A and B are shown apart, each in its own frame.
Chain A
Amino acid sequence: MAETATAQRRTSLETRGFDAKGASLTLAPSSFRVSLRAPEASISVLEEALGLSLPRLPKTSSEEGTRAALWLGPDEWLVIDTETDPLTASRGVEALHSAVDISHRNVGIVASGAYAAEAVNGGCPQDLSPEAFPVGACSRTVLGKIEIVLWKKAENSFHIECWRSFSPYAFAFLTASARDAAA
């Protein structure tokens, strides 16, 4: 068998970016992602293996180092890690669960700035006020005509996850919306 060079990775968004006063958009770094499903009984074992707590409440997330777990449903988490593959950690877990690699399925976009919430609210009907959507809040929701996972990583900074082929739409939509929010 011939030795082959490793194939080059190409994202769906190339080098897109948008910068306006108070609302800028950047591409999130490529990351490992796992769709994790598990019943209550398996959670503690998985938490130990993954090295972070799995949030139990709607609209909450947890973070530990480069790894984060976003609550998406009563038995569903989106685990994102910018450095190491969470599957490596979960592979040995025998407790009942499903871990599926979706690293390439999703693309992350970061909207930040004083008007970031307004930019997201251009197409997302969620209440993004600090009371309703504090730092760390996350939700599977919509942006215009597509589904996204919205995660407030910091004050004035939102991480938006969408499927790969929807990312040009998401980026263009957020650009139009950020332009309006910053206007």
Chain B
Amino acid sequence: MAEPASFRVSGKGRLGSKGANFTFDGASYQGVEGDTLASALLANGVHLVGRSFKYHRPRGILSAGAEEPNALVNIERDPSRKVPNVRATVQEIYPGLKAVSQNRWPSLAYDVGEVNNIASPMFSAGFYYKTFMWPKKAWEKFYEPKIRAAAGLGVAPDLPDPDHYSQRFAHCDVLVLGGGAAGIAAATAAAESGARVILCDEQADLGGALRFEAGAMVENKPAWDWAQEAIAKLAANDRVRVLPRTTAFGYYAQNFVALAERVTDHLASPNPGLPRERLWQVRAGRVVIATGAIERHMVFADNDRPGIMLASAARTYLNHYGVSVGRKVGVFTANDSAYQAAIDLKKAGTEIAAIVDIRPASEGDAVQQARALGIEVLSGHAVVKTGGRLRVSSMAVRSVNVGAERVIPVDALLMSAGWTPSVHLFSQSRGRVAFDEASQRFLPGTYAQACVSVGASNGTDRLEATLEEAYAAGEKAAKETTGGTKSAARPAGVSGEAFAGGMLGTTPGAENGTTVAAFVDFQNDVTAKDIRLAVREGMHSIEHVKRFTTNGMATDQGKTSNMHGLAIAAEVLGKDIPSVGLTTFRAPYTPVTFGTIVGHAKGELFDPTRRTPIHPWAEAQGAAFEDVGQWKRAWYFPRAGEDMHRAVDRECKTVRETAGLFDASTLGKIEVVGPDAAKFMEILYTNPWEKLEVGRCRYGIMLREDGFIYDDGVVGRLASDRFHVTTTTGGAPRVMNHMEDYLQTEFPDLKVWLTSITEQWAVIAVQGPNSRKIIEPLVEGIDISDAAMPHMSVREGRICGVPTRLFRMSFTGERGFEVNVPADYGQAVWEALWAEGQKYGACAYGTESMHVLRAEKGYIIVGQETDGTVSPYDAGLDWAIGKKKRDFVGIRGLKRSDLVADGRKQLVGLRTKNPRTVLEEGAQIVANPREPVPMTMLGHVTSSYWSENCGHSIALALLQNGRKRMGQTLWVPMPDGAIEVEVTGTVFFDPEGGRLNG
């Protein structure tokens, strides 16, 4: 292969000389450090970089910035780092960079999908909606999979992302979005006025339009040099943070702005300690929006061939990257700024074929300059089509008032239809744009937040005016936020170009009635005729036009296409632009990786994993764990050769025969303290508390206002003014919030305070006939005899030399204790209890056995037997409601007609006719299994287990009129036949409850 011709122009551009080799579609190229992939490809004469989304048309590089719709490539750093849809105009090259084109097969130059282009008349706007309506069934099985396979740009990576991403919150007085002349000026003024400033810009080099505007002067020196000096000064100020390669992508409430910083994508071998990207979440006192303007393309036939690009892009490639985009370049423009591109190129030795100016008589400075350089200027002319397949080779030019076409050979064509102020972030801030008739553009109108737009994004066209505006804005923002009075010195000697003027919509030759492919939205392949068709078919709102045609709905969000699309729709509708409206700008401004949004929240940081103090012991014992909310709880403790069922059977038997140890540390615990503690408990729970003696416990039920069970737990009274409340594991945070809510909003006069002590105390349940013998040798200062410490009592003392709150209580139906010790002592005390327990053959048991043991006793679990629609009556807990109480949360709810009506579902037990059959939890219960579907469902199974202690299966169920159905035979229909069950009481083991007392 011969050395490809270089389009690098010596003496132009601001890059160094350090070479960087890279590959594109397997071919090796040389670029220069600081190049973007786009500039490096153009330096090698490569314009063809991709295929369009729908028609697979060959596409080149349109822009030199974030607005790029065409040049999307896959960057493959290594097998696990393949990033699709990277804009070649943003991606900087590094030695060894590997880029691959997208949306083509088998190759970029020969793409089978191009058949879509030939068939393009078929694929008009709304094609999918119209074509795939029938037969209805084919949608799911045929159309959708086929369309999905063909759709989409790029290939998603198939390996986990090995990079890490970081996030940072930051605060500043003044946040400046955009580092062009306006942004630099605003940041400088704010910093000089004493503010804390953050300045961000999406480019590697700050400077904005100064990257291409070569002739601009500030302080009588080239504006670029002024900008670099100003940035260096800002960077050296420790109250200023300058963030290059950082895109402000989301503007949220109260000046909360999200920035995505690309940290390593431009580095050949990044330090592995660095995150790939960093999300900055900034809260700013004031925001200065200096986001500039985006040049629009001209909408004419075949305006999408590779080599056709925005004039400012060509100028950026020349003046910043030192690259000429062609040898013989044509220009098609509706404003003056494209002339400057032609002039700069001409001066750099590139031939300018002609400047085709759609305006009838253009006679400004720029025109004079161009003519003086010998450039042919065709005023009142239009480019009506272009030639070439993989690269533009000619432009056909004629007078705007019809006439003969003249074909002019070109190898690049620059275009400018004018500039669209970037009001995206202003709009995201909920500011309302206003249409400026004179300049035919939307500008920031009504502000909704403490922000201000400056420079080109505010429609300020001249550099002098921009700097004045930006300095004033930066200074004002600083003074408002810091209260300071210091003023910033304004720069003198400012001159630059103006960027006003231009056109919207199609050019002659692509006007209404033509069928040419004049592209409005390059990325979604939307042409002017698609938009007209949408209007003709009844889409009169721009929101409908947008969705019907997909104009502006690609990843570039229509940065170059929105205004053209709007103008074309308005023309067909015969309305003016503001009455057709502008679609809403939404975050993100440019695509943001999932990694940036996720940040540290993956792996062990995805969500907190909570472990109890006794967890290490259980882990060492080989326990299986289950997730209960964020907690890891020991599920069961299998011995060699045991599966879960065998382990659970053994654990359940052992607890009832001798004893078992259970880690109950995850139980929610709240200390309720104050002279009104009992009064507060009376309000929050259904039970009476005033008369509960100190040292005694009670099972409490908490309702919501609607009368349904919210939580339950055992409460111990430690002193007249102090309760130790326990809640369910999952209910702990919400119960605390529920209590605080009532205390602060309904009963603020009560002298009582709540403190979460869930994690202060490790809780070891010692349950079973031998439980007292196990704890006895370790306890000091508490008489734990049955007489002194009966069931449902609580004492404070010491165990193993450390403080304990010792509860005599049971969730198993056996004599039992719950040993509370300060959490850091949990494991040591457990180990001591375990050693004692070994003398009696005690076991450790997990949550599964806990569930079985309590079900054998008919004890409910909130969230299993209850689902937010179960009252205490339904659950058979009437006894827990203080009959003499005049008030508690839910008391009126309980009296609602529905809650006292007959036919409510009530908690019952179920026994299967075949004792070995274990029902499925959630299964429905019916009276007649032969009833045709849908059967009359009477209720459902809430808990179901094999009970080794009972020798048969047991189940709890919520059943319509359940308590009146004792002894009835009912059925649980399952896929392989209905299971016969008998309705029983809820207590399956030791119904008299004698074992509780030893």
Task: Judge if B146 is at the interface, Cβ distance under 8 Å.
Answer: no
Please name 19 further chain A to chain B contacts, defined as beta carbons within 8 Å, in addition to the given A125-B283, A146-B608, sorted by A numbering. A1-B777, A2-B778, A4-B777, A4-B799, A35-B755, A37-B753, A96-B751, A98-B673, A99-B673, A105-B756, A121-B169, A122-B166, A144-B601, A145-B607, A163-B759, A165-B612, A180-B275, A181-B168, A183-B274
Contact with A along B935-969 (1 / 0, CB 8 A): 00000000000000000000000000000000000
Contact with A along B535-559 (1 / 0, CB 8 A): 0000000000000000000000000
- Tell me if A6 and B802 are in contact (CB < 8 A): yes
Task: Judge if A11 is at the interface, Cβ distance under 8 Å.
Answer: yes
List residues of chain B with CB within 8 A of the CB of A146.
608
Give the complex CA separation of A30 and B631 in angstroms.
24
List residues of chain B with CB within 8 A of the CB of A5.
800-801
List residues of chain A with CB within 8 A of the CB of B760.
100-105
Choice from A1, A9, A39, A118 contacting B779 with Cβ under 8 Å: A1
> What is the minimal beta-carbon distance from B257 to any residue of chain A, in angstroms?
13
List residues of chain A with CB within 8 A of the CB of B368.
none
Task: Judge if B377 is at the interface, Cβ distance under 8 Å.
Answer: no
- Tell me if A4 and B759 are in contact (CB < 8 A): no
Q: Which B residues form the contact surface with A (CB < 8 A)?
A: 164, 166-171, 196, 271, 273-275, 278, 281, 283, 600-601, 604-605, 607-613, 616, 631, 671, 673-675, 751-753, 755-761, 776-780, 799-802, 821-829, 832
Which residues of A, 117-172, contact B by the 8 Å Cβ criterion? 118, 121-127, 129, 132, 144-146, 163-166, 168-169, 172
- Tell me if B604 and A172 are in contact (CB < 8 A): yes
Once A and B bind, how many residue pairs between them come within 8 Å at the CB atom?
Answer: 158
Give the complex CA separation of A181 and B600 in angstroms.
13
- The winner among B600, B780, B828 for most chain A CB atoms within 10 A is B600
- Tell me if A4 and B801 are in contact (CB < 8 A): yes
Give the complex CA separation of A124 and B170 in angstroms.
9
Give the complex CA separation of A163 and B824 in angstroms.
12
> What is the minimal beta-carbon distance from A171 to any residue of chain B, in angstroms?
10
- Tell me if A104 and B166 are in contact (CB < 8 A): no
- Tell me if B778 and A98 are in contact (CB < 8 A): no
Closest 9 pairs (CB-CB, A-B): A6-B801, A7-B828, A165-B610, A37-B753, A98-B673, A127-B171, A169-B608, A98-B753, A104-B823
List residues of chain A with CB within 8 A of the CB of B607.
145
List residues of chain B with CB within 8 A of the CB of A9.
824-825, 828
- Tell me if B822 and A103 are in contact (CB < 8 A): yes
B761 (CB) vs chain A CBs: closest residue: A104
B170 (CB) vs chain A CBs: closest residue: A121
Give the complex CA separation of A1 and B801 in angstroms.
12
Task: Judge if A53 is at the interface, Cβ distance under 8 Å.
Answer: no
Give the complex CA separation of A37 and B755 in angstroms.
9
Q: Which A residues form the contact surface with B (CB < 8 A)?
A: 1-2, 4-12, 30, 35, 37, 39, 75, 96, 98-106, 118, 121-127, 129, 132, 144-146, 163-166, 168-169, 172-173, 176-177, 179-181, 183
List residues of chain A with CB within 8 A of the CB of B832.
4, 7
Give the complex CA separation of A111 and B525 in angstroms.
53
> What is the minimal beta-carbon distance from B966 to any residue of chain A, in angstroms?
44
- Tell me if A165 and B600 are in contact (CB < 8 A): no
- Tell me if B605 and A169 are in contact (CB < 8 A): yes
A9 (CB) vs chain B CBs: closest residue: B824
Give the complex CA separation of A9 and B827 in angstroms.
8
A133 (CB) vs chain B CBs: closest residue: B171
- Tell me if A105 and B823 are in contact (CB < 8 A): yes
Give the complex CA separation of A30 and B760 in angstroms.
13
- The winner among B605, B776, B802, B827 for most chain A CB atoms within 10 A is B605
List residues of chain B with CB within 8 A of the CB of A37.
673, 753, 755
Give the complex CA separation of A123 and B599 in angstroms.
10
Give the complex CA separation of A30 and B601 in angstroms.
28
A125 (CB) vs chain B CBs: closest residue: B169
> What is the minimal beta-carbon distance from B721 to any residue of chain A, in angstroms?
9
List residues of chain B with CB within 8 A of the CB of A39.
751
List residues of chain B with CB within 8 A of the CB of A122.
166-169, 600
B167 (CB) vs chain A CBs: closest residue: A122
Choice from A2, A121, A165 contacting B759 with Cβ under 8 Å: A165
Choice from B166, B759, B780 contacting A105 with Cβ under 8 Å: B759
List residues of chain A with CB within 8 A of the CB of B605.
144, 169, 172-173, 176
A-B contact pairs, 28 of them (CB 8 A): A1-B780, A4-B799, A4-B832, A5-B801, A7-B799, A10-B827, A30-B824, A98-B674, A100-B757, A101-B822, A102-B757, A105-B759, A118-B168, A125-B283, A144-B601, A145-B608, A164-B759, A165-B612, A165-B631, A166-B610, A173-B600, A177-B166, A180-B166, A180-B168, A180-B274, A180-B278, A183-B271, A183-B274
Choice from A11, A123, A129, A179 contacting B171 with Cβ under 8 Å: A129
- Tell me if A176 and B164 are in contact (CB < 8 A): yes
- Tell me if B802 and A7 are in contact (CB < 8 A): yes
Give the complex CA separation of A176 and B673 in angstroms.
39
> What is the minimal beta-carbon distance from A140 to any residue of chain B, in angstroms?
12
Question: Contacts A105-B823, A144-B600: A10 and B613 contacting too (C-beta < 8 A)?
Answer: yes
Give the complex CA separation of A98 and B604 in angstroms.
37
- The winner among B756, B759, B827 for most chain A CB atoms within 10 A is B759
List residues of chain A with CB within 8 A of the CB of B821.
7
Give the complex CA separation of A2 and B169 in angstroms.
56
Give the complex CA separation of A168 and B824 in angstroms.
15
Give the complex CA separation of A96 and B275 in angstroms.
52
List residues of chain B with CB within 8 A of the CB of A121.
168-170
> What is the minimal beta-carbon distance from B23 to any residue of chain A, in angstroms?
29
List residues of chain A with CB within 8 A of the CB of B610.
165-166
- Tell me if B169 and A7 are in contact (CB < 8 A): no
List residues of chain B with CB within 8 A of the CB of A30.
824
- Tell me if A7 and B829 are in contact (CB < 8 A): yes
- Tell me if B823 and A164 are in contact (CB < 8 A): yes
List residues of chain A with CB within 8 A of the CB of B171.
127, 129, 132
List residues of chain A with CB within 8 A of the CB of B826.
10
- The winner among B756, B822, B823 for most chain A CB atoms within 10 A is B823
List residues of chain A with CB within 8 A of the CB of B196.
129
List residues of chain B with CB within 8 A of the CB of A12.
611, 613, 823-824
> What is the minimal beta-carbon distance from A133 to any residue of chain B, in angstroms?
10
> What is the minimal beta-carbon distance from B992 to any residue of chain A, in angstroms?
33
Give the complex CA separation of A105 and B6 in angstroms.
69
List residues of chain A with CB within 8 A of the CB of B799.
4, 7
Give the complex CA separation of A61 and B557 in angstroms.
50
List residues of chain A with CB within 8 A of the CB of B675.
96
List residues of chain B with CB within 8 A of the CB of A118.
168
- Tell me if A7 and B825 are in contact (CB < 8 A): yes
B482 (CB) vs chain A CBs: closest residue: A131
- The winner among B757, B822, B824, B829 for most chain A CB atoms within 10 A is B824
- Tell me if B608 and A104 are in contact (CB < 8 A): no
Give the complex CA separation of A7 and B751 in angstroms.
36
- Tell me if A104 and B601 are in contact (CB < 8 A): no
- The winner among B608, B613, B631, B826 for most chain A CB atoms within 10 A is B608
List residues of chain A with CB within 8 A of the CB of B631.
165
List residues of chain A with CB within 8 A of the CB of B164.
176
> What is the minimal beta-carbon distance from B749 to any residue of chain A, in angstroms?
12
A2 (CB) vs chain B CBs: closest residue: B777
List residues of chain B with CB within 8 A of the CB of A125.
169, 281, 283
List residues of chain B with CB within 8 A of the CB of A96.
674-675, 751
List residues of chain A with CB within 8 A of the CB of B169.
121-126
- Tell me if B601 and A145 are in contact (CB < 8 A): yes
> What is the minimal beta-carbon distance from A32 to any residue of chain B, in angstroms?
11
List residues of chain A with CB within 8 A of the CB of B759.
104-106, 163-165
Give the complex CA separation of A99 and B271 in angstroms.
50
A169 (CB) vs chain B CBs: closest residue: B608
B604 (CB) vs chain A CBs: closest residue: A172
> What is the minimal beta-carbon distance from B753 to any residue of chain A, in angstroms?
4
A38 (CB) vs chain B CBs: closest residue: B753
List residues of chain B with CB within 8 A of the CB of A104.
759-761, 822-825
